[in-house]
Structure 1
Amino acid sequence: MRASEGVPLITYQRTLDLTPLAQARARLPSPPGFAAIIAKAFALVAREQPVLRTLVVDFPWPHFYELPRSVGAIAIAREIDGEDCVLIQKLVAPDELALTGVDALIREAQTLPINEVPMFRKLLRISALPWPLRRIAWWSGLSLARQRANYFGSFGLSSVSAIGPGNLYPTSPGPYMLSYGRLGDDSRLDMVIRFDHRLIDAAPIARIMTRLEQVLNTAIAGELQAMHSPSTGHPPVRAVGI
Structure 2
Amino acid sequence: MRGRTIRLSPARRLVGDLMRFSIGIPRVTVQRQMNIRPLVDARSASCVRPSWTVLFLKGYALLSQEIPDLRRAYIKFPRPQLYEYPASVASIAHEREHEGERVVLLSTIKGPEKRPIPELEKLIQDARSLPISEIKEFRRSLKLARAPGLLRWLLMWLGLNIGRKRGRYFGTFQLSVYSGLGAESLNPLTPLTTIFNYGPIGEDGSVTVRIHYDHRVMDGANVARALERFEKILNSQVVDEVRSLAQNEAAASTVSIGISK
Which TM-score tier does this pair reach, normalised by the shorter chain?
over 0.9
**1:55 aligned partner:** 73
**1:158 aligned partner:** 176
- The answer on 1:66 being equivalent to 2:84 is yes
Moved more, 16-25 or 134-143: 134-143
> Aligned partners of 2:182 and 2:202: how far apart in 1?
12
> Aligned partners of 1:199 and 1:165: how far apart in 2?
29
SS in 2 for 1:229: helix
SS in 2 for 1:29: coil
Per the normalisation by structure 1, the TM-score is: 0.92
- Cα 1:14–1:59 change in 2 (3 A) is same
Amino acid aligned to 2:179: S
SS in 2 for 1:13: strand
Moved more, 188-197 or 224-233: 224-233
SS in 2 for 1:156: strand
- CA-based RMSD of the aligned residues comes to 1.4
**1:124 aligned partner:** 142
Deviations 1:84-129 (A, max 9, x none): 1110010111000001111111111111110111111111111111
Amino acid aligned to 2:25: V
**1:10 aligned partner:** 28
Amino acid aligned to 1:116: E
**1:236 aligned partner:** none
Please give the residue correspondences for 1:164-183 in structure 2 after superposition, counting only pairs within 5 Å. 164-183=182-201
CA contact (8 A) 2:112 2:120 kept: yes
Aligned residues: 233
- The answer on 1:200 being equivalent to 2:218 is yes
CA contact (8 A) 2:58 2:117 kept: yes
Per the normalisation by structure 2, the TM-score is: 0.86
> Aligned partners of 1:167 and 1:115: how far apart in 2?
29
CA contact (8 A) 1:76 1:87 kept: yes
CA contact (8 A) 2:178 2:199 kept: yes
SS in 2 for 1:12: strand
> Which residue of 198, 207, 213 maps to 1:189?
207
Alignment gaps of 5+ in structure 1: 234-242
Deviations 1:198-241 (A, max 9, x none): 111111111100110011001101111111112778xxxxxxxx
Identity of aligned residues (%): 36
**1:27 aligned partner:** 45
CA contact (8 A) 2:173 2:192 kept: yes
**1:95 aligned partner:** 113
